């Protein structure tokens, strides 16, 4: 029965987040939702962000009440089909608490000897790592110059930013990590593999920079410099195929980050270093040529920022998934497919690579 029941848990929005406050429910018990619909507002010491539904279904139970502060991974609600009996819902909740007596703490410590997963990129626009943290620690952080991170971006190059990631892993005493990177973060992940291959267990890349020369220069400029909500909304809508996915909260979150002291200057440095004269400065295709590190790549066919054609001509052993009717944010528009694919890949990347090799030679 549990395959029709989905646990809604306190998400992890950043590296330092250990708990969150359920500010409010935006959906009532019994209400039907689609994947990606807003279910609740979550407050941390740094941000307030929406909790989006990981699947379609009916909100059957609000386990946590508005105003409660709970650890990351704690059960806050239950999503299921309308036909699922109440007794099954209650049994699911009981079993969840029995299996997770300390909620997130048990999950975070149980896999101390396993490679961790690190998500590289501006968290507002990146992978919802709460759906991937079932069996390993997930570390998500904003890049320098982005979000709440330092505005010291050094030279602003991919090499400098990859060095920051390498230093972070060393500081956290993480010898090897499964790296998830999107767009600029994907280019940084590739550079990390080039410069510090011993730290990378696998690469999971979404529309990564570094695999072609062209980039939407108008988007880069507007993304950095737009100041009004109207202008920023138009810019962010370039990121997705389904323009309705860009709501007021996403726009406000990006604008708040831009208005932090030094934020725009830092992004200008990065843009000039990584995308001079409207082109990509780094060619990282050679990093993937003959690489033994398991790698998979995702792209949206309708990507308006970095063309999906950049994924062509890569080594056959690298699985490339191009999603139809998807833009530059497959992690948003194809969240369920993305999370499932990444979870399977990082569980046994060597097996995944072997399967890719077999498919390539078939």
CA distance 214 to 216: 7
Among 35-49, 101-115, 201-215, 332-346, name the most confident range.
201-215
204: pLDDT strictly greater than 60: yes
Q: Both 244 and 140 in a single domain?
A: yes
| Least trusted range by pLDDT, from 34-38, 78-82, 148-152 | 148-152
As a whole number, mean pLDDT of residues 244-265 equals: 86
As a whole number, mean pLDDT of residues 333-358 equals: 78
The answer to whether the CB of 67 falls within 8 A of the CB of 21 is yes
Structurally, how many domains does the chain consist of? 2
Looking at residue 281, what DSSP letter applies? S
Q: Both 278 and 300 in a single domain?
A: yes
Q: Both 148 and 55 in a single domain?
A: no
State the residue range of the domain holding 118.
114-361
Q: Both 82 and 119 in a single domain?
A: no
Q: Which two tokens stand for residue 84?
A: 């699922």
206-217 in b/e burial notation, b at 16+ Cβ within 10 A?
bbbbbbbeebbe
Q: Both 49 and 169 in a single domain?
A: no
Q: Both 104 and 141 in a single domain?
A: no
As a whole number, mean pLDDT of residues 292-318 equals: 93
pLDDT tens, position by position, 82-135: 999 998 998 888 887 766 554 433 333 333 445 656 666 554 344 555 555 556
DSSP lists the bridge partners of residue 300 as 323
Q: Both 304 and 246 in a single domain?
A: yes
As a whole number, mean pLDDT of residues 212-231 equals: 95
251: pLDDT strictly greater than 70: yes
pLDDT for the residue 16: 56
Torsion sign, CA atoms 285, 157, 332, 342: positive
As a whole number, mean pLDDT of residues 259-268 equals: 88
pLDDT for the residue 310: 96
Q: Both 212 and 327 in a single domain?
A: yes
pLDDT for the residue 105: 33
Helix (H) or strand (E) holding 206: strand 200-206
Higher pLDDT, 247 or 98: 247
pLDDT tens, position by position, 56-69: 999 999 999 888 88
CA distance 171 to 167: 6
Q: Both 38 and 54 in a single domain?
A: yes
As a whole number, mean pLDDT of residues 42-68 equals: 86
pLDDT tens, position by position, 158-179: 999 999 889 888 887 888 889 9
CA distance 45 to 287: 39
Task: CATH number of the domain at 246, please.
Answer: 3.40.50.1820
Q: Both 44 and 94 in a single domain?
A: yes
Domain end among 50, 76, 108 = 108
Higher pLDDT, 356 or 96: 96
Quick one: pLDDT band at residue 185, thresholds 50, 70, 90?
very high
Q: Both 185 and 326 in a single domain?
A: yes
Higher pLDDT, 358 or 272: 272
CA distance 178 to 165: 12
C-alpha distances (whole Å) from 356 to each of 214, 292, 295, 351, 353 are 28, 12, 10, 9, 5
Name the nearest CA neighbour of 129 among 177, 184, 61, 172. 177
Quick one: pLDDT band at residue 329, thresholds 50, 70, 90?
very high
Q: Both 310 and 235 in a single domain?
A: yes
pLDDT for the residue 125: 46
Task: CATH number of the domain at 80, please.
Answer: 2.40.50.100
Looking at residue 120, what DSSP letter applies? E
Name the nearest CA neighbour of 134 among 351, 321, 319, 346. 346
Q: How many CB atoms lie within 10 A of CB 329?
A: 27
54: pLDDT strictly greater than 90: no
Give the rounded percent of residues in the chain with a pLDDT score beyond 90: 45
CA distance 131 to 8: 9
Domain end among 108, 132, 156 = 108
pLDDT for the residue 239: 95
Among 161-170, 172-181, 277-286, 311-320, name the most confident range.
277-286
Domain end among 108, 125, 151 = 108
The model carries a pTM of 0.69
pLDDT for the residue 216: 97
């Amino acid at each position: 029965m549990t395959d029709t029941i989905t646990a809604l848990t306190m998400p992890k929005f950043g590296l330092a987040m250990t708990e969150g406050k359920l500010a409010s429910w935006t959906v009532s018990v019994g209400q039907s939702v689609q994947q990606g619909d807003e279910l609740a507002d979550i407050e941390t010491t740094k941000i307030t962000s929406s909790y989006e539904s990981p699947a379609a279904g009916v909100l059957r139970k609000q386990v946590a009440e508005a105003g409660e502060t709970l650890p990351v991974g704690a059960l806050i609600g239950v999503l299921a089909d309308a036909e699922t009996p109440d007794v099954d819902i209650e049994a699911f909740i009981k079993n969840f608490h029995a299996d997770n007596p300390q909620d997130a703490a048990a999950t975070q410590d149980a896999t101390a000897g396993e490679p961790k997963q690190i998500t590289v990129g501006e968290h507002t626009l990146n992978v919802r790592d709460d759906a991937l943290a079932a069996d390993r620690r997930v570390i998500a952080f904003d890049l320098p110059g982005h979000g709440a991170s330092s505005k010291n971006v050094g030279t602003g190059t991919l090499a400098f930013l990859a060095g920051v990631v390498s230093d972070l892993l060393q500081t956290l005493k993480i010898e090897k990590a499964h790296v998830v990177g999107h767009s600029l973060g994907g280019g940084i992940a590739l550079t990390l593999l080039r410069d510090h291959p011993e730290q990378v267990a696998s690469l999971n890349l979404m529309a990564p920079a570094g695999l072609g020369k062209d980039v939407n220069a108008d988007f880069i400029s507007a993304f950095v410099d737009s100041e009004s909500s109207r202008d920023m909304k138009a810019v962010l809508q370039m990121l997705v195929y389904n323009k309705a996915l860009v709501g007021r909260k996403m726009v406000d979150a990006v604008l708040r980050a831009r208005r932090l002291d030094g934020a725009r200057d830092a992004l200008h440095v990065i843009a000039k270093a990584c995308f001079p004269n409207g082109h990509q400065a780094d060619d990282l295709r050679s990093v993937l040529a003959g690489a033994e590190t398991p790698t998979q790549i995702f792209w949206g066919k309708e990507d308006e920022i970095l063309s999906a054609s950049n994924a062509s001509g890569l080594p056959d052993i690298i699985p490339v998934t191009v999603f139809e009717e998807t833009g530059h944010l497959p992690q948003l528009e194809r969240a369920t497919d993305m999370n499932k694919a990444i979870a399977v890949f990082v569980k046994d990347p060597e097996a995944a690579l072997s399967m890719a090799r077999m498919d390539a030679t078939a």
